[in-house]
Structure 1
Amino acid sequence: MFELRRLRLLHELALRGTIADVARELSYSPSTVSQQLALLEREADVALLEPDGRRVRLTAQGRMLAAHAARALELDEAARAELSISRDARAPVRVAVMPTAAEALVPAALTLLAEREPGLRLEMVEMPPEEGLFELRAHAFDLVVAEQYPGYTRELQPGIERTLLGRDPVRLVVPPGSPARELADLRDAAWAMEPQGAAVRQWAVQQCRAAGFEPDVRFEATDLTAHARLAAAGHAAAMLPDLSWTGDRSSVRLLQLPGDPVREIFAATRSSSRDGAAVGAVLTALADALAAHRPR
């Protein structure tokens, strides 16, 4: 019989690639991880790891068992969810959210949950969608709030389900004194965008190219409030979704982008935990919070 905690370590190694990363994520020492994986090898009676320079990698048998480990963890999670419903005891719901959701959705969702599910405990970490979706597969979170832009669909992963929370218009933001009337008028402007590698950065650059110019990106920030303030101060143009506004928008001018694009806000969950009552309550509260969001 395989020990589930050791299977979790193998699963983490398959995702993260190194024993050091597994140890860091699960708050173990690297030697403890190595010892537990060695015990798992004895249980399996086959070699699961092999040297790869100064590191190790999974053998073919190791990859096979890691796939079974992922399914075993899903079954364990599903069983615990059903048992918690039957005894009315709920574990905390761990949520990873992108910055705009942390500011505009989570506070409102918590207010709704306090009324609807006063015994539910929600724990939140703010992180980019790319990281959150990876950590969801590693069982670090129960739910991830992420987004995708037109033409930039995120990779679909087995065992991960998505629930559309709503759609969020994206608009062109310019300084109050800017004479610009459309995107093509901003070919000589300085731009504020998210850092390289973010899906929204790629999407925004493509919008500029479709308008006939390469954007002069002078300012990079993951905090969209910084983009708005740079525009309000007259230093940059930006493309911002409505959800990024938690306060007054009168300090900038908003223009429509070609095609009136909207981004999709979705929640990702593991198939094994989606039907749990606590996760379902959080999904509903987030969707209701997004529907009620009205920037001024």
Structure 2
Amino acid sequence: MDTRRLPHLVELDRLGSMRAVADALGTSTSVVSQQIAALAREVGATLVEPDGRRVRLTPAGRRLAEHGRRIVAAVDAARDDLDPAAEPSGTVRVAGFASAIRRSLIPIVADLAVRHPGLRLTFHEQQPAESLALLEADAADLALVYDYDLAPAAPMPPSVRAGRRLWEVRWGLGVPDDGAVPVGAATSAEVLAAYADRAFIGDSRNDADERVLRLLGAAAGFDLHVTHEADSLDLVDDLVLAGLGVGLLPTNRPTRDGIRVLDLPDPPVRLRCRPVVRRGRETWPPLAAVLGALR
């Protein structure tokens, strides 16, 4: 059934004459008659019957008109929802790592609620690979992912597109603040070499930290041991404070007493955050509004 024919039947039910329908739809009575006749053939039922010099809907016609009103309304709503110029309304499902949600999304929620009352955000804390999997499965509309410049992410699947970098943060080596400072450490590799006999801490849900550490360890000429894995930065702090290992920590995060974050000067370690969406979805008004606020 061609749903484009339904407005002719719906209007006939409302207005009661072919001429009135033609005037309302800006067409001719013959076109209205042809569209309704074609619709009758498609559904296999008689939709109109003579009523003196006019026509009226049959019981089947009235029933289809009832469905038609809902279908036409749904099509109009879908068209409005997808119109790039429409007021954003709907739920944007965001999957991303905790720092990105805290830094990029939570600060814009209140402003978005004022500017677009019909817009709603839901958050799912996930690591980059998990966020991309949700995006590909259409279980998320926006993914906030990260990689390190020293450990670039693998190429993304063709179904998604990464936006421009939102921000980047320098990372250093979190170590016990015991007064010992690497002497003569001019490079990042030399900083790590001063802790070659320590256990190192990786990330339990993403191998990017470990790849950065192993790259710098190899440059310093030693094979470091990633003994512990932690997804929480607070747990990394706890492990460092307990003397159980050293690991990467962001330099812009307040440090706890007893921890020192050593600069990794050359090459620097930078974490980069990017938004990722499914191709073709960028113009959906609710998502476009969120992306605009992020930028």
Task: Tell me if both proteins adopt one fold, taking TM over 0.5 as the criterion.
Answer: yes
Question: Deviation at 1:218?
Answer: 2.4
Residues 175, 235 of structure 1: 8 Å contact kept: no
Aligned to 1:277: 285
Give yes or no for the alignment of 1:83 onto 2:82: yes
Q: 1:248 to 1:284 in 2, by over 3 A?
A: farther
Q: 1:185 to 1:89 in 2, by over 3 A?
A: closer
Question: What amino acid is the match of 1:126?
Answer: E
Aligned to 1:162: 162
Alignment deviations for residues 21-48 of structure 1 (CA, whole Å, 9 cap, x no partner):
xxxxxxxxxxxxxxxxxxxxxxxxxxxx
Q: 1:81 to 1:279 in 2, by over 3 A?
A: farther
Alignment deviations for residues 134-177 of structure 1 (CA, whole Å, 9 cap, x no partner):
22112111000001112423222213111121112111111111
Alpha-carbon distance between aligned partners in 2 of 1:161 and 1:102, rounded to the nearest angstrom: 19
Structure ID, larger Rg: 2
Residues 161, 268 of structure 1: 8 Å contact kept: yes
Aligned to 1:93: 92
Give yes or no for the alignment of 1:124 onto 2:130: no
Alignment deviations for residues 227-270 of structure 1 (CA, whole Å, 9 cap, x no partner):
12322344321112346x3x555542121213112121101001
Alignment deviations for residues 87-128 of structure 1 (CA, whole Å, 9 cap, x no partner):
535120000011332444433232443454443200011111
Q: 1:242 to 1:82 in 2, by over 3 A?
A: farther
Aligned to 1:172: 173
Aligned to 1:236: 245
Cα RMSD (Å): 2.8
Give yes or no for the alignment of 1:186 onto 2:185: no
Question: What amino acid is the match of 1:97?
Answer: G
Alpha-carbon distance between aligned partners in 1 of 2:260 and 2:92, rounded to the nearest angstrom: 39
SS of 1:121 mapped into structure 2: strand
Aligned to 2:152: 152
Count of matched residue pairs:
209
Alpha-carbon distance between aligned partners in 1 of 2:215 and 2:205, rounded to the nearest angstrom: 13
SS of 1:95 mapped into structure 2: strand
Equivalences for 1:208-227 in 2 at 5 Å?
208-227=217-236
Residues 141, 287 of structure 2: 8 Å contact kept: yes
Alpha-carbon distance between aligned partners in 1 of 2:244 and 2:99, rounded to the nearest angstrom: 22
Aligned to 1:252: 259
SS of 2:172 mapped into structure 1: strand
Question: Which segments of structure 1 move beyond 6 Å, counting only runs of 4 or more?
Answer: none
Residues 148, 154 of structure 1: 8 Å contact kept: no
Question: What amino acid is the match of 1:254?
Answer: V
Q: 1:272 to 1:196 in 2, by over 3 A?
A: closer
